[in-house]
Amino acid sequence: MRAAAAASAGDSDREPGLSAFWSRILVVAALLPAVLGLVWLGGWWVLALAAVAGAIALHEYFGMIRELRPVALAGFTGFGLALLGVQLGGLEWMLGGFLATFALAFGLHLVARTRASATVAVASTVLGAGWIGLGLGHLVLLRGFEEHGQLAAFTVLLAVWAADTAAYLTGRLVGRHRLAPTISPGKTWEGFVAGTAAAVFVAFVALYKQGLADGWRSIVLGFVIALAGALGDLFESALKRDVGVKDSGSLLAGHGGMLDRIDALLFAGVASYYLLRAFGAA
């Protein structure tokens, strides 16, 4: 039974029925305006959005890997300290908050006196706090740019959404060549190409003559967002395949769980932040 579940795990491009497809559309239509509105407001509103989404995603993550005996309390604490740190002191404080996860996880593991491997328990805990906490923290940093913060955050969010949508639709309609058959059989090269084109288009249009990363830089940013997003999606797919689950949860209907919805964003946000910093944004 577990092997059968693993065979289909991690496939966000699975072929749902018509009702599931419209369910995905309705979820996006309901959530996207609220997300963009909070990002527009910035400040603590963005932090609250990241905290809620991240806490749900981290809960789903710990649920998926519960057999590894992660120290959930340490993971949630490290995640919270990372987000609080990024809001109060920027990148350095975010990293400091996250690093506390190591000591907390090991200390609580000792107190619990479980028979689980300390290496596995601590490593799986730190992975969750870092993957989700640092991923969302870099999106908060993007929104915090002194100039063009709103534009940077909107561009990344919309480019990731456009790439995901284009890849999904193209993969269903004309996808024939599998991108990563052993990890996520539903993803196709045709979908990846369409998603990349969509991300480049969104980045180019959004940043056209805006001074943040216009011209060829916007094209590079679009490619980076598409590639990082695809890797983020495949990373979660590989994890789900390892633990034998199909979705991280069922909160968002046709989208699966919260982690299924933000997996690409967690990688794309980090990559976009450092690329834009390299281009001179701050």
184 three-state secondary structure: strand
- pTM for the full predicted model: 0.89
pLDDT at 8: 43
pLDDT tens sequence across 179-212: 988 888 889 999 999 999 999 999 999 999 888 8
Token reading at 117:
């491997």
Q: 139 and 214: one domain?
A: no
Q: Kind of pairing, strands 184-188 and 178-180? A: antiparallel
pLDDT at 24: 66
Q: Is 245 left (phi over 0), alpha (psi -120 to 50) or beta?
A: beta
Q: 162 and 276: one domain?
A: yes
pLDDT tens sequence across 24-72: 677 777 788 899 999 999 999 999 999 999 999 999 999 999 999 999 9
Structural domain harbouring 100: 43-143
Residue that finishes a domain, picked among 127, 143, 159:
143
Token reading at 261:
């919805």
Q: 281 and 189: one domain?
A: yes
Q: 58 and 193: one domain?
A: no
Token reading at 242:
């390892």
pLDDT tens sequence across 128-143: 999 999 999 999 999 9
Q: 28 and 85: one domain?
A: no
Asked whether the beta carbons of 124 and 137 are under 8 A apart, the reply is: no
Q: 91 and 123: one domain?
A: yes
Residue that finishes a domain, picked among 143, 170, 188:
143
CA distance 229 to 226: 5
Q: 139 and 267: one domain?
A: no
The CA dihedral of 154, 155, 160, 166, to the nearest 10 degrees, is 110
CA distance 240 to 159: 25
Residue that finishes a domain, picked among 92, 110, 143:
143
* Element containing residue 172 per DSSP (H, E): helix 149-174
266 three-state secondary structure: helix
Q: What's the total number of domains in the chain?
A: 2
